[in-house]
């Protein structure tokens, strides 16, 4: 029997991982990518002449060990790690969070005496939450029963239910009383007051591959290029500038290939979509091929959380001397965050939930040229920011209407903390949720292909009864971030999808 022929729609990093594993298993794999470069949200681009940026994802942390080893990524990519997270506050205050807990505790004590008392408890809580999840990342999503059994196994019987029912605000307040310190530890995909908001932080706490936490030299695109090289070495064919118009389904409900935008068709035994579940089922599949009830559930997938991605070319380093003194190590500027307090975080979310960009956003800032000097001209710096939050749809008008004012507001906010920021600007580029949709087919600019909200994890991803990587159309599979275990640069959905296909072929 001829090896199965597989078409993968989309060469995002998960599509490349699936391509690698299927080609390695002997299948004839062709990846069709709409853009002129692979990687999707994992890309490097010269957005301003002379300045190269990681266009979307800019912090690598969740890549899984089997993916790293099987694709021999260590032979192809070097990752540089920021030495600490530098937290910026008004009145020239700052706090560094190091990977070494005792160093962080010492810094916390001088920042806010008494604040380190429960740091160890905090750190152990998240260590346990991460180990609760870890065994379920590269496999079928766990049931609630399995999560409770695992809680017992790791010696914390109530842990899963705590994560599911409590909220991030109460967890943070339980461990830290200083408002600014609370700002350093609050995190959530959306509203930190929502029950179940700790589930996402637990996902972000799975044990890291330490050498793979940071920024690849050459930006995130270097990782995608390495994944593409691994897939090609295994026998996959990758075609860029090949947008797919629709997935072809025959009269018996079987996926039989794809039609490209240029009108050409490609037949296959298996079609894999790297697009979000909603984009796949509503844009690529003829609605007649799907049960109306199923389509209704697809349209109910929540994509409510949005961000702005801002990139700046600077002619000089950011001036952080007000925080760190005149002779500070420039490495300190490689990764920064601005979240003053829990109420600051909540107000940023509330603005977005009301349909407007956060007036006082929560900001993550990375100066990648500190870690990778070749990403900016001599003396200059490439700075990127993830700005939270920005609604996928505005209450009034469109993102194109307010792009300039929203960008000016981001520049003002950063300049409040980094005084030379505006005057050092050579140029900037900002992507709104609408831009992300137009560039990547990422509906509503949803960076995770489906919100990371409590009901949309595990068997709820993309929604209960959806089949996960499998679809109701025989021969059609999903490999992107909208499937278990979810978004971020982990390669896990791509790995799991390949495993599901290979297991189905063996039956
Ligand atoms: C602004 C932003 C910042 C982020 N920051 C981080 C971060 O710092 N760290 C982190 O871990 N994660 C981050 N993420 C999330 C992470 O990048 C994504 O969850 C992940 O990369 C999704 O990967 P994917 O392969 O599943 O999908 P995608 O990257 O969305 O890939 C889908 C691919 O399909 C292609 N495509 C779309 N339509 C078609 C079509 N019709 N025909 C052919 N091809 C098509 C697209 O061009 C794209 O290449 C960020 C994402 C964004 C957008």
pLDDT at 333: 81
- Tokens coding 109: 């004590």
Tell me the pLDDT band of 300, cut-offs 50, 70 and 90: very high
Mean pLDDT of 35-46: 98
Cβ pair 390, 357 in contact under 8 A: yes
Is residue 301 scored above 80 in pLDDT? yes
Is residue 83 scored above 90 in pLDDT? no
CA of 435 relative to ligand 1 center, distance in Å: 13
Cβ pair 35, 244 in contact under 8 A: no
pLDDT at 168: 98
pLDDT at 332: 82
- Which atom of ligand 1 has the smallest separation from the CA of 16? 25
Tell me the pLDDT band of 419, cut-offs 50, 70 and 90: very high
Rg (CA), the chain: 22
Q: How far is CA 246 from CA 117, 238, 276, 284, 285, in A?
A: 57, 18, 14, 4, 6
Closest alpha carbon to 55 in 84, 35, 33: 35
CA of 408 relative to ligand 1 center, distance in Å: 26
Give the model confidence (pLDDT) of 221-270 as tens digits.
Answer: 999 999 999 999 999 999 999 999 999 999 999 999 999 999 999 999 99
Give the model confidence (pLDDT) of 454-467 as tens digits.
Answer: 899 999 999 999 99
Instruction: List the residue whose alpha carbon is closest to atom 7 of ligand 1.
Output: 57
Instruction: List the residue whose alpha carbon is closest to atom 41 of ligand 1.
Output: 244
Tell me the pLDDT band of 89, cut-offs 50, 70 and 90: very high
Structural domains present in the chain: 5-41+64-75+214-301+449-506 (3.50.50.60), 100-106+116-211 (no CATH), 307-440 (no CATH)
CA of 326 relative to ligand 1 center, distance in Å: 39
pLDDT at 2: 79
Percent of the chain with pLDDT strictly greater than 90: 95
Tell me the pLDDT band of 487, cut-offs 50, 70 and 90: very high
For 114, residues 6+ apart whose C-beta sits below 8 A from its C-beta are: 177, 178
CB of residue 43 inside a 6 A radius of ligand 1: no
Mean pLDDT of 473-478: 98
pLDDT at 451: 95
HEC string of 466-478? Answer: CCCCECCCECEEE
CA of 86 relative to ligand 1 center, distance in Å: 27
pLDDT at 141: 95
Q: Using N-to-C axis directions, what is the helix angle for 492-506 and 13-24, rounded to 10°?
A: 30
Is residue 507 scored above 90 in pLDDT? no
As a whole number of angstroms, the distance between CA 271 and CA 471 comes to: 11
Average pLDDT, the chain: 96
- Which atom of ligand 1 has the smallest separation from the CA of 61? 11
CB of residue 243 inside a 6 A radius of ligand 1: yes
CA of 28 relative to ligand 1 center, distance in Å: 24
CB of residue 436 inside a 6 A radius of ligand 1: yes
Q: How far is CA 221 from CA 19, 192, 225, 432, 481, in A?
A: 17, 32, 6, 20, 18
Q: Ramachandran region of residue 437, left (φ > 0), alpha (ψ -120 to 50) or beta?
A: alpha
- Count CB atoms within 10 A of the CB of residue 505: 13
CB of residue 7 inside a 6 A radius of ligand 1: no
Cβ pair 13, 223 in contact under 8 A: yes
Instruction: List the residue whose alpha carbon is closest to atom 16 of ligand 1.
Output: 488
- Which atom of ligand 1 has the smallest separation from the CA of 480? 26
Instruction: List the residue whose alpha carbon is closest to atom 32 of ligand 1.
Output: 12
CB of residue 309 inside a 6 A radius of ligand 1: yes
CB of residue 32 inside a 6 A radius of ligand 1: yes
């Amino acid at each position: 029997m001829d090896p199965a022929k597989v078409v993968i729609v989309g060469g995002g990093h998960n599509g490349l991982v699936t391509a690698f594993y299927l080609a390695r298993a002997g299948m004839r794999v062709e990846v069709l990518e709409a853009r002129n470069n692979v990687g999707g949200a994992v890309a490097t681009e010269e957005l301003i002449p002379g300045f190269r940026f990681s266009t979307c994802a800019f912090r690598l942390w969740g890549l899984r060990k089997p993916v790293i080893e099987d694709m021999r990524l260590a032979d192809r990519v070097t990752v540089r790690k920021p030495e600490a997270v530098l937290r910026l506050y008004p009145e020239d205050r700052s706090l560094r969070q190091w990977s070494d807990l005792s160093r962080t505790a010492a810094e916390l004590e001088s920042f806010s005496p008494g604040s380190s008392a429960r740091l160890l408890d905090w750190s152990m809580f998240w260590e346990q939450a991460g180990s609760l999840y870890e065994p379920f990342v590269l496999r079928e999503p766990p049931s609630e029963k399995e999560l409770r059994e695992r809680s017992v196994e790791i010696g914390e019987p109530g842990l899963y239910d705590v994560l599911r029912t409590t909220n991030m605000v109460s967890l943070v307040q339980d461990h830290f009383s200083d408002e600014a310190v609370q700002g350093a530890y609050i995190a959530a995909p959306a509203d930190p007051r929502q029950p179940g908001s700790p589930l996402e932080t637990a996902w972000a706490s799975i044990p890291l591959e330490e050498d793979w936490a940071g920024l690849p030299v050459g930006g995130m695109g270097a990782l995608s290029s390495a994944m593409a090289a691994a897939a090609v070495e295994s026998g996959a064919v990758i075609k860029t500038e090949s947008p797919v118009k629709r997935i072809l389904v025959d009269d018996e409900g079987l996926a039989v290939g794809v039609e490209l935008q240029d009108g050409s068709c490609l037949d296959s035994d298996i079609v894999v979509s790297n697009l979000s579940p909603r984009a796949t089922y509503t844009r690529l599949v003829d609605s007649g091929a799907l049960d109306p009830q199923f389509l209704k559930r697809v349209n109910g997938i929540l994509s409510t959380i949005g961000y702005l991605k801002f990139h700046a070319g600077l002619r000089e380093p950011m001036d952080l001397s007000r925080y760190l003194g005149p002779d500070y190590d420039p490495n300190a500027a490689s990764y920064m965050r601005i979240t003053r307090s829990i109420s600051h975080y909540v107000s940023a979310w509330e603005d977005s939930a009301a349909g407007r960009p956060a007036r006082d956003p929560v900001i993550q800032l990375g100066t990648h040229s500190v870690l990778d000097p070749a990403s900016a001209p001599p003396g200059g710096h490439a700075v990127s920011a993830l700005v939270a939050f920005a609604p996928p749809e505005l209450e009034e008008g469109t993102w194109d209407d307010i792009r300039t004012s929203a960008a000016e507001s981001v520049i003002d906010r950063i300049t409040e903390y980094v005084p030379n920021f505006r005057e050092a600007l050579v140029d900037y580029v900002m992507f709104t949720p609408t831009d992300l949709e137009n560039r990547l087919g990422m509906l509503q600019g949803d960076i995770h292909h489906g919100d990371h909200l409590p009901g949309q994890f595990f068997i709820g991803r993309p929604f209960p009864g959806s089949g996960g990587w499998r679809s109701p159309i025989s021969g059609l599979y999903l490999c992107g971030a909208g499937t278990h275990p979810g978004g971020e640069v982990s390669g896990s959905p791509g790995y799991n999808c390949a495993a599901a296909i290979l297991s189905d072929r063996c039956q």
